[in-house]
Amino acid sequence: MKKIVCILLVFSVCFSCKNDDTYLEGTYLSLSQTNVDFSSDAQEQAVEIINAGDDTKAGITSENSDWCQVSIKQNQLLIKVSGNDLVTSRIAKIEVSSANQKVSLMVRQARKYFTHIAAVKNLQAIPGPGEVKLKWTEPEEDNFSHVVVTYQINNQQHKLVLENGVTEYTIKELLNADGEHTFYVQSVDKDRDLGEVASVATIPGKLVAFRFEKEIDTQWIPYYLRNSNNKIVTLRIGSAEFNDNEQSVINFEVDEGLLQAYREKTGLSPELLPADACPIPQDYVYTGTSAYQNLSLQVDVSALQDRHVYALPLKIKSVSSASVSEMMNSVVIVFYVDDLEGWYTVDRLAKCGEGAAQYPSNPEKRRRYIKRTGDLTWETGYLFRAYSTGKDQTSSGTSVQYISIDPDTKSIVIQQNGYPVSDNLNAYDLQNNELNVEYLYRDWAGWWTHERMYNRTLTR
């Protein structure tokens, strides 16, 4: 047993001596600081190296740290940084080594705080037909982010917020006749603060380019209530600038690609309008007496089917002695064949038995749908108890008004639930697409439902 104890003591002493020889107190390589902070200015600081040896070395180990330099002089670590012109702070890592020991130090330099946001440089305005191209050079200061471009057309201000890195932009739909246009380019910094403004002025060139004046609303085509088989659709076509009394011949085409794009954009699925329902005018003559003039299309309703939605994707194909505009050179005209179906705004009229409080003051909350339920039948909500939030917000009984049309007399019969009616004065205004709801309850003396349903649309 004594032999075993002695052997253990010897091993213990040997192990203890070996550990003390490697890590003697007062010989550790260390630094007086492990973190050094600098302002954004170019500066130099010294850190004491404790227990430096003859082979002590120091170097930068982090990437993209050329801004920081380090050297050793008389047991001091000399750290030198260049000025930081960035809006972000930066960090470098220094490693000091001696023999088999290493220590690290972090260097942090603060961001630069700018006192102004510089304007763009070399701003140019290059006029073209109906347009002006703006070009500029971004300032070198790191706080610069992007620009805001502003200008006026017909005393209405237009504002464009451009993305970072954009250094040119073309402004279209400008008129030579409006004279000189002034464009302002304002710098914005990375904190989204507005800075200095550069401006430039020029006169755009004259552009005679043909287009449709504007989009056209849904064309509601009555079927049983119609008084003619002809539906006239009027478009406006021309050029914002034109040569007085100079005639131009315009030709059109049906572009089915436009129809597919319309379907994808709206989620609706109108059929292509049959070719025999609406002949496309060719060799249409623009007279040059006004910017825009009427183009009338005649639709043969007898070639259409009830309860169908059609579309005519019409595009300007060519123009003699002028160009086709890049803007609004096509339209998709939607034809909805149904006497009553659609979304309407509802107003209370004078004879209505229900009080004004039953009709919200906000027109958006007075929207109500008329739903087709059969060949000659429709239904809508009573007040806003049904069909006010969706096409399928159905109900029954007193919440619904039932509608039917007599195709021979073109009369419209409406009643709430199954309550008998003595007077039905309902009428539909084909010109304005408005339904006048006006009926007297037989068993309730003097009680009328009297409403105006207007502003008919496909969507709520």
The pLDDT value given to residue 171: 96
Task: Decide if pLDDT at 22 tops 90.
Answer: no
Inter-residue contact 429 to 407 (CB < 8 Å) = no
Separation of alpha carbons 390 and 319, rounded Å: 45
Per residue in 83-94, pLDDT (tens digit) is: 999 999 999 999
The last residue of a domain, from among 184, 202, 220: 202
Q: Which two tokens stand for residue 360?
A: 């919200």
Let me know if residue 418 belongs to a domain. Answer: yes
Query: pTM for the full model?
Result: 0.70
Residue 295: how many other CB atoms lie within 10 Å: 19
Task: Decide if pLDDT at 4 tops 70.
Answer: no
pLDDT band at 54 (very low <50, low <70, confident <90, very high): confident
The pLDDT value given to residue 460: 86
Tell me how many domains the chain contains: 4
The pLDDT value given to residue 373: 96
Q: Say if residue 49 is in the same domain as residue 102.
A: yes
Average pLDDT over residues 41-62: 93
Average pLDDT over residues 209-218: 95
SS3 per residue for the chain: CHHHHHHHHHHHHHHHHHHHHHCCCCCCCEECCCEEEECCCCEEEEEEEECCCCCCEEEECCCCCCCEEEEEECCEEEEEECCCCCCCCEEEEEEEEECCEEEEEEEEECCCCCCCCCCCEEEEEEEEECEEEEEEECCCCCCEEEEEEEEEECCEEEEEECCCCCCEEEECCCCHHHCCEEEEEEEEECCCCEEEEEEEEECCECCCEEEECCCCCCEEECCCCCCCCEEEEEEEEECCCCCCCCCEEEEEEECHHHHHHHHHHHCCCCEECCHHHCCCCCCEEECCCCCEEEEEEEEEHHHCCCCEEEEEEEEEEEECCCEECCCCCEEEEEEEECCCCEEEEEEECCCECCCHHHCCCCHHHHEEEEEECCCCEEEEECCCCCCCCCCCCCCCHHHEEEEEEECCCCEEEEEECCCCEEEECCEEECCCCEEEEEEEECCCCCCEEEEEEEEEECCC
Rg from Cα positions in the chain: 40
The last residue of a domain, from among 293, 317, 337: 337
**Percent of the chain at pLDDT above 90?**
88
Q: Say if residue 128 is in the same domain as residue 161.
A: yes
pLDDT band at 12 (very low <50, low <70, confident <90, very high): very low
| Amino acid letter, 44 | E
Task: Decide if pLDDT at 98 tops 60.
Answer: yes
The pLDDT value given to residue 26: 62
Let me know if residue 253 belongs to a domain. Answer: yes
Per residue in 417-453, pLDDT (tens digit) is: 989 999 999 999 999 999 999 999 999 999 999 999 9
**Percent of the chain at pLDDT above 70?**
94
Q: What is the average pLDDT value for the chain, to the nearest integer?
A: 92
Q: Say if residue 181 is in the same domain as residue 273.
A: no
Q: Which two tokens stand for residue 136?
A: 């500029």
Which tops the pLDDT comparison, 14 or 176?
A: 176
Lowest-pLDDT range, 76-80, 209-213, 214-218, 393-397? 393-397
> CA separation (Å) from 424 to 55, 124, 372, 421, 432?
109, 70, 20, 7, 21
Let me know if residue 2 belongs to a domain. Answer: no
Q: Say if residue 326 is in the same domain as residue 226.
A: yes
Let me know if residue 168 belongs to a domain. Answer: yes
CATH of the domain at 47: 2.60.40.10
Task: Decide if pLDDT at 342 tops 80.
Answer: yes
Let me know if residue 248 belongs to a domain. Answer: yes
The pLDDT value given to residue 320: 95
Distance of CA 232 to the CA centre of its chain: 35
Bridge partner list, 362 = none
The pLDDT value given to residue 8: 33
Per residue in 226-249, pLDDT (tens digit) is: 999 999 999 999 999 999 999 999
CATH of the domain at 221: 2.60.40.1740
Residue 219: how many other CB atoms lie within 10 Å: 19
Among residues 452, 371, 372, 373, the alpha carbon closest in space to that of 381 is found at: 371
| Amino acid letter, 59 | G
Separation of alpha carbons 336 and 350, rounded Å: 31
Per residue in 147-158, pLDDT (tens digit) is: 999 999 989 999
Task: Decide if pLDDT at 23 tops 60.
Answer: no
Task: Decide if pLDDT at 454 tops 80.
Answer: yes
Per residue in 154-198, pLDDT (tens digit) is: 899 999 999 999 999 999 989 999 999 999 999 999 999 999 999
Let me know if residue 12 belongs to a domain. Answer: no
Q: Say if residue 320 is in the same domain as residue 434.
A: no
The pLDDT value given to residue 7: 37
Lowest-pLDDT range, 65-69, 342-346, 378-382, 388-392? 388-392
Residue 322: how many other CB atoms lie within 10 Å: 20
Angle at the Cα of 459 from the Cα atoms of 455 and 460, rounded to 5 degrees: 70
Q: Which domain holds residue 95?
A: 30-109
Q: Which two tokens stand for residue 455?
A: 């502003």
Task: Decide if pLDDT at 32 tops 80.
Answer: yes
Let me know if residue 19 belongs to a domain. Answer: no
Q: Say if residue 36 is in the same domain as residue 85.
A: yes
The pLDDT value given to residue 15: 39
Per residue in 101-148, pLDDT (tens digit) is: 999 999 999 999 999 999 999 999 999 999 999 999 999 999 999 999
Separation of alpha carbons 352 and 441, rounded Å: 11
Average pLDDT over residues 269-280: 96
Q: Say if residue 127 is in the same domain as residue 64.
A: no
Let me know if residue 20 belongs to a domain. Answer: no
The pLDDT value given to residue 2: 38
Per residue in 348-374, pLDDT (tens digit) is: 999 999 999 999 999 999 999 999 999
Q: Say if residue 378 is in the same domain as residue 448.
A: yes
Q: Say if residue 346 is in the same domain as residue 374.
A: yes
The last residue of a domain, from among 275, 308, 337: 337
